[in-house]
Amino acid sequence: MSVSRMTGKTYYTDEEKERALQNNNALQYALSRGYHLVKCGSEYHLKEHDSMVFKLDGRWYWNSQGLHGRALDFIQGYENRTYQEAVCILAGTIDRPAPVGPVMTAKLPPADEKREFILPEKADSFKNIFAYLIKERGVDGDLVRRLVRENKIYQSRNHNNLVMVGYDSEGKARYASLRSTNSYTKAFKIDAAGSDKSYPFVIEGNSGTHTVCVFESPIEAMSYWTLCKITGSSRIDSHMISLGGAAARQALDRFLREHQQISSIVLGLNNDKKEFGHKIDAGRNGIKKILKAYGKDYHITVHQPYMDDWNDVLKNYRRNLEGKLPEIREPERPRVNSRTKQLEMAI
């Protein structure tokens, strides 16, 4: 992987593209990244989305979203990475070694296999994640310290990754998202093997709240909470959860089942527009799915960021601290395609 000194954007060499095309097998890639696949006849389905199909010949179909292709398309369509990033991932120059070898030689998981979930070991010091979240990402320091005390975030021993944890109702860890804290290389992002995406990372709100705010990742949830504190929005009292991706709805399903008092949902999914380098508007697709599933039973407000994601909004504000804070006002119920003004925090 190379990064342009002029633009800071990722680009790939001809050699990297050739290697990526040799490894362009969606099933092989999914197996190498620990996705939970379920055997169905001669093909495999993703456990979390039974409409997502992986063929033995390397083809990939996501029937409910009308998407298909091979590994390059899966990485862009499901993992929400750019084409340039997808090429470098398959070439082995981003995140992990590239998946290699014919898929028929890989050990395919049986239909009922359940991977054991084990949290990465904690480091003796958490200085990397404090620097990463507070200095680089702009997250509120008090929130970071609170989440550390609650064992919802920590630094791993082996690679100094940021580990963000989701728990069940009895306080047992069920899910973990890992992210590198090294700002000099492309971000490493993956769920721990055996993670159950139906258990979200949660920033708890006040006990009497009837609102849950929904984001794609834990860092987006932390960023939104921080922006609420900056602007004085009462939405800071709401529960905030992450889905582990725009397409993953099972975390919201479980949270609503276990929190019967919730009557209002705020959707803060990413603004995956072409102007921000995205080929697929995964955020908008995720919003449509949630509106269809819960629009009749819950008051749903769409609050997408005006930039790519809420952390970009937060970092942009941190870079312009002299700027005037936005007015906090009661908005009209927004439509799905409404655009949010800069830092406009709905009450």
Yes or no: say if 87 and 17 are a contact pair by the CB < 8 Å rule: yes
Q: What pLDDT does 331 receive?
A: 36
User: CA–CA separation, 21 vs 29, rounded Å?
Assistant: 12
SS3 of 222, please? helix
- Give me the sheet containing 67-69, strands edge to edge: 37-40, 43-46, 49-54, 60-62, 67-69
Residue 47: the pLDDT is 75
Q: 56: closest CA among 74, 38, 44? A: 44
- Looking at residue 121, its pLDDT comes to 94
Q: How far apart are CA 101 and CA 114, in angstroms?
A: 24
User: What's this model's pTM, rounded to 2 decimal places?
Assistant: 0.67
Radius of gyration of the chain (CA): 20
Distance CA 304, CA 313 (A): 11
DSSP 117: P
| Per-residue model confidence as pLDDT tens for the chain (347 residues) | 444 334 446 678 889 899 899 989 999 888 887 787 888 877 888 876 777 899 989 999 987 667 889 999 998 888 777 888 889 889 888 756 666 554 544 455 554 455 688 899 999 999 999 999 999 999 999 999 999 999 999 999 988 999 999 999 999 999 999 988 876 555 667 788 788 889 999 999 999 999 999 999 999 999 999 999 999 999 999 999 999 876 678 899 999 999 999 999 999 998 866 655 656 666 777 888 899 999 999 999 999 898 889 999 999 999 887 444 443 333 334 333 333 344 444 33
Tokens representing 274? 């072409």
Residue pair 280/272 in contact by the 8 Å Cβ criterion: yes
Q: Which pLDDT score, from 0 to 100, does residue 260 have?
A: 95
Which helix (H) or strand (E) segment is 332 a member of?
Answer: none
First to last CA, the chain: 43
Do residues 336 and 287 touch, judged by C-beta distance below 8 A?
yes
> 40 in helix, strand or coil?
strand
**Per-residue pLDDT at 322:** 46
The predicted structure's pLDDT at residue 191: 83
